[in-house]
Amino acid sequence: MAKKNDMTYGSDVRLLTIGNSADYKDYILQNMNMTSYAVLFCADTWSETIEMQTYNRDLLYNQSMTEEERKKASTKSFDFFLSCQF
């Protein structure tokens, strides 16, 4: 991949050793906006809880409520399962 894309192996393309999902997440967080692609070989499952904030559009425009009441978000979460653990 490095050769075909005029990249340097070791700096542009890196081999990361076997680890777990936390190791991978930590690497991505430490190298934010620097990782374009990842190839993962999976042997187990990995689950994450994803949180989303939503706003009630009808409340946002209700002028009889205070700004704090109108902008109150509700947080919903759900479990997301990936078919791999790395």
Does 59 have pLDDT greater than 70?
yes
Same domain for 49 and 33, yes or no, is no
> In one letter, which amino acid is 10?
G
Among 22, 18, 1, smallest CA distance to 10 is for 1
Does 18 have pLDDT greater than 60?
yes
Average pLDDT over residues 78-82: 81
Segments forming the whole domain that contains residue 28: 1-39
pTM score over 0.85: no
Number of domains in the chain: 2
Contact (CB, 8 A) for 50 and 78: yes
Same domain for 51 and 25, yes or no, is no
Q: Which of 4-8, 19-23, 42-46, 68-72 has the highest mean pLDDT?
A: 4-8
Neighbouring residues of 62: CB distance < 8 A, sequence distance ≥ 6: 70
Average pLDDT over residues 2-23: 77
Neighbouring residues of 48: CB distance < 8 A, sequence distance ≥ 6: 79, 80, 82
Same domain for 3 and 29, yes or no, is yes
